[in-house]
Structure 1
Amino acid sequence: MRIAYLGDIVGTSGRQALTQQVKTLREQHGADLVIANAENIANGSGITPEQHKKLSAAGVDGMTLGDHAFRKQQIKNTLNTVDNLIRPINLPGQAWGKGYMRLPSPIEGGPDVVVVMIMCRLFMNSVQADDPFAALDRFLESLRSQPPAIVIAEIHGEATSEKIAFGWHANGRVAAVLGSHTHVPTADHRILPSPGSDPSIPGAPVPGLGKGTAYVTDLGMTGPQDSVLGRRVDRVVHHMSTGLPAAFDVAEGNPEVQGVLVDIDPVSRLATHIERVALPADVNQPPFVV
């Protein structure tokens, strides 16, 4: 099973780039599922119900949200009712929506794919998140009563050290740990050396049949590359060079789809391969032009 997992979608150009490249991900890169972080799609912060519908219609199987999950108040009902949009699982109990999703297997007779979103705490001062390490442990324990599944953990955070430590904490217990939030792709994608699965967790991945847990510190950004993390260069440079306020409007130039492709053995439910993917959009073709 091959899963395309994509970095934070930023603005309209990011959504259009992904809409254009979903077919490429499936037909040329063999993706069975397409999953993306969508928390920056609404002009750089949050997501609306209409944008969720557009991504679903474009062929995106699952969407995740991070620290900007609730920036658009109108997303509350969508979060509470749909099965393919999640927010971090380690938020306070009153948070809208849920922190994981179970996607049906895209291959006949294969296991479902469970995606859990977990928030980091270092340098994430505006978010009241619980301990991400304990949150993963509780979540894996909760899977005891459910059918065995491929488990992918997205770790959303600022500090590379925290995300790397989380990867080692999860190693051997999930198929992949994929980082998001910084919008800058990292070059540390690898299969962590497997310590074997945790025998105390029924339905945990089977050691020895697959390779281990796929890991990357950050997936990158699906959006305008001629930018500062998706925002207009002139606005950000002006603010940083003068100290004067500036509106950090979303940029549009050179949109690209960034993320990883992860191959997972459906028997062991562990990863066998991970590679980076970067697909430049053609702004002279739909949906950029009609």
Structure 2
Amino acid sequence: MRILFIGDVVGKIGRRMLNNYLPTLKKEHAAHFTIVNGENAAHGKGITERTYKEILNAGADFITLGNHAFAKREVYDLLDQDVKMIRPANFPEGTPGDGYRIVNVNGNKLLIVNLQARSFLEPIENPFKVIDQILEKNEYDTAFVDFHSETTSESIAMGYYLDGRVNAVVGTHTHVQTNDASRLENGTVYITDVGMTGFKDGILGIRKDEVIRRFVTNLPERHVVPDEGKGVISGVIIDTDAKKIKNFKIEE
């Protein structure tokens, strides 16, 4: 199976980049299934029903989320519907939505899992124990994990922890693509962070002036996600049969 995964879509520019480039990327790489992280799709924080549909209309087959999954109130009801979207599986019991899903891709049972790390993020359930439970109680042919993590160490630890148990572990959240796409010792393909899809000439998809001013003054600043400007789209293409992963980044 060939999986195309697109990292953190940020705001209007990120959605525009999906519309402009995703159809070509799917065709170029002959992708069987496309997954997009959409937790920042609605003006840089959270996702709405409208942006959810916009991502699917751009060509995504499925959407994963992260620590901003519930930034927009309307997503509570949306996640409890039959949607092609999951939130981190280690959110507390009773949280709306599902943390994993098994989908049929040409007769292949693809397990898609979304997990959130805990270092410098909310102290939710232990993702290492939660993924153990998911893998133990489900039958699948291929397993893909989106690990939404703040630190490289926790991401790498998860990669090694799942090496040989799942087909792919890809990192999201930091919005900076890492240069370590590789196959681990026991065959799992891995990357610490896929990178973001959004405003190129800023800081993590945000206008740079406010971010710099906050570092200089140590005072609160409103983060501005531009609606116009040059964009970037970041992702990976994963061949589960050949156990290969290749990262890419396209800039305007």
- The bucket for the TM-score relative to the shorter chain is over 0.9
The answer for the alignment partner of 2:213 in structure 1 is 238
The answer for the alignment partner of 1:154 in structure 2 is 146
Q: Trace 1:173-252 onto structure 2 (pairs within 5 A).
A: 173-194=165-186, 212-251=187-226, 252=228
Contact 2:86 2:98 in 1 (8 A): yes
Deviation at 1:170, TM superposition (A): 0.3
Deviation at 1:128, TM superposition (A): 3.7
Q: Distance in 1 between matches of 2:115 and 2:95?
A: 14
What SS is found at the alignment partner of 2:232?
strand
Q: Distance in 2 between matches of 1:156 and 1:245?
A: 25
Gaps of 5+ in 1: 195-211, 266-270, 282-290
Structure 1 residue corresponding to 2:125, chosen from 119, 130, 145? 130
CA deviation vs aligned residue, 1:31-53 (integer Å, no higher than 9, x gap): 22111110001111100011111
What SS is found at the alignment partner of 1:8?
coil
Deviation at 1:10, TM superposition (A): 0.3
Figure out how many residues of one structure are paired with residues of the other and give that number.
Answer: 251
The answer for the alignment partner of 1:114 in structure 2 is 111
Q: Distance in 1 between matches of 2:104 and 2:250?
A: 26
Q: Distance in 2 between matches of 1:32 and 1:21?
A: 16
Identical aligned residues as a percent: 40
Q: Distance in 2 between matches of 1:52 and 1:92?
A: 23
Contact 2:11 2:40 in 1 (8 A): yes
Range 3-12 or range 248-257, more displaced: 248-257
Relative distance call for 1:76 and 1:249 in structure 2 (3 A) is same
CA deviation vs aligned residue, 1:137-184 (integer Å, no higher than 9, x gap): 0000110xx4x3210011111111111011111000100000011000
Q: Distance in 1 between matches of 2:151 and 2:194?
A: 14
Q: Distance in 2 between matches of 1:241 and 1:273?
A: 42
The answer for the alignment partner of 2:232 in structure 1 is 256
Deviation at 1:132, TM superposition (A): 1.1
The letter of the residue matching 1:133 is F
The answer for the alignment partner of 1:274 in structure 2 is 245
Deviation at 1:30, TM superposition (A): 1.8
The answer for the alignment partner of 1:206 in structure 2 is none
Range 242-251 or range 61-70, more displaced: 242-251
Contact 1:227 1:253 in 2 (8 A): no
The letter of the residue matching 1:123 is F
CA deviation vs aligned residue, 1:112-153 (integer Å, no higher than 9, x gap): 2211001111111xx24211111110000110xx4x321001
The letter of the residue matching 2:77 is N
Contact 1:83 1:101 in 2 (8 A): no
Deviation at 1:24, TM superposition (A): 1.0
Deviation at 1:28, TM superposition (A): 1.5
Contact 1:47 1:69 in 2 (8 A): yes
The letter of the residue matching 1:78 is L
The letter of the residue matching 1:164 is I
Contact 2:207 2:223 in 1 (8 A): yes
Contact 2:200 2:251 in 1 (8 A): no
Gaps of 5+ in 2: none
Q: Distance in 2 between matches of 1:139 and 1:12?
A: 34
Q: Distance in 1 between matches of 2:6 and 2:57?
A: 17
Contact 2:23 2:58 in 1 (8 A): no
What SS is found at the alignment partner of 2:36?
strand
The answer for the alignment partner of 1:5 in structure 2 is 5
Contact 1:9 1:221 in 2 (8 A): yes
Q: Trace 1:84-103 onto structure 2 (pairs within 5 A).
A: 84-103=84-103
The letter of the residue matching 1:118 is L
